Amino acid sequence: MSRGGGKGLSLKDKLDGNELDLSLCDLNEVPVRELAALPKATILDLSCNNLISLPSDFCSLMHLVKLDLSKNRLQQLPLDFGRLINLQHLDLLNNRLVTLPVSFAQLKNLKWLDLKDNPLDPVLAKVAGDCLDEKQCKQAAVKVLQHMKAIQSEQDRQRQQKLQAEREMEKKREAEQRAKEAQERELRKREKAEEKERRRREYDAQKAAKQEMEKKTKKETVHTRKPASSSRPAQRPRHKLSWSRSVLRVLLFVLFCILCTLAACKLTELQHQPLCVSVNTLYEDVVAALQNHKTLQNMLQHNS
């Protein structure tokens, strides 16, 4: 180990029983790795060096029971300094410390503490006292530990309050999210119902239009059939005329037959037959009746 670098000379040469004296070595940094290799060194003296800070891995030296860091230029201790739970004696005289890390409250075995000649926070300085003798340094250890435990408890309480506030905020966000999701579900449900109602109205409208079209088509079919039925009476005179013609033809045929019979009964040898005699007699009676009728008409005309 050499000055400034902390390397070169073996630390074993500095070890005396369980005490390792590294004071007045002009150290700028702590050789943590070499110190960790010497778990027997429970007493470590790093006083009167040029240490401005301690590395975070320094707190892994949990075998330390007594630690002297006086007369350095330390501005702060590592945040996890409380890991040195076996520490009983701590000398921080004449450094540049203003506060102590909250983890300091975990040094439950600490029995002796010197914080003189540091620009301490006024509250901490009042708690620590002067440490002018053994009794005051022991009281300083007890009071500082109590003070740091109170700070730790307050920080834990604030942390719990913060966590509780965060949990409540998270619950509130979750409740708002659930309310939002419920509102969205209700909106989708309402939109779905409206869409269903719209389709139902469209279906009813299409059905009504179809029924109206069927009625219209049926009416048009009825109107189309009516002229056909009304044309039948117009055709009836034709049938009636045809029937009249047929009757007239029959009458003419009968008249022709009568004339032929009369001619045969008058002009042929059949005139002496009983049938022809009856026909001739009937003919003469008809002619006589017609002549009488004609004479009567002339008389009536003459009188008029």
Per-residue pLDDT of the chain (304 residues; tens, 9 = 90+): 444 444 445 788 889 999 999 999 999 999 999 999 999 999 999 999 999 999 999 999 999 999 999 999 999 999 999 999 999 999 999 999 999 999 999 999 999 999 999 999 999 999 999 899 999 999 999 999 999 999 999 988 998 999 999 999 899 999 999 999 999 999 999 999 999 999 989 999 998 888 888 888 888 887 776 554 444 544 555 666 677 778 888 888 877 877 777 777 777 766 677 777 777 788 778 778 777 776 767 766 665 5
Determine the pLDDT at residue 2: 43
Architecture (CATH level 2) of domain 11-155: Alpha-Beta Horseshoe (3.80)
Determine the pLDDT at residue 255: 79
Q: How far apart are CA 104 and CA 127, in angstroms?
A: 14
| SS3 assignment, position 279 | helix
| SS3 assignment, position 94 | coil
In eight-state DSSP terms, residue 72 is: S
Q: Decide: 61 and 84 in contact? Cβ < 8 Å.
A: yes
Determine the pLDDT at residue 261: 75
Q: Decide: 163 and 148 in contact? Cβ < 8 Å.
A: no
Determine the pLDDT at residue 46: 97
Q: How far apart are CA 3 and CA 189, in angstroms?
A: 80
Q: How far apart are CA 184 and CA 69, in angstroms?
A: 65
Q: Decide: 30 and 53 in contact? Cβ < 8 Å.
A: no
Q: How far apart are CA 6 and CA 30, in angstroms?
A: 7
Determine the pLDDT at residue 286: 77
Determine the pLDDT at residue 244: 77
Q: Decide: 103 and 79 in contact? Cβ < 8 Å.
A: yes
Name which of 16, 26, 65, 76 is nearest 47 in CA terms.
26
Write down the pTM of the prediction.
Answer: 0.57
Q: Decide: 97 and 75 in contact? Cβ < 8 Å.
A: yes
Determine the pLDDT at residue 18: 94
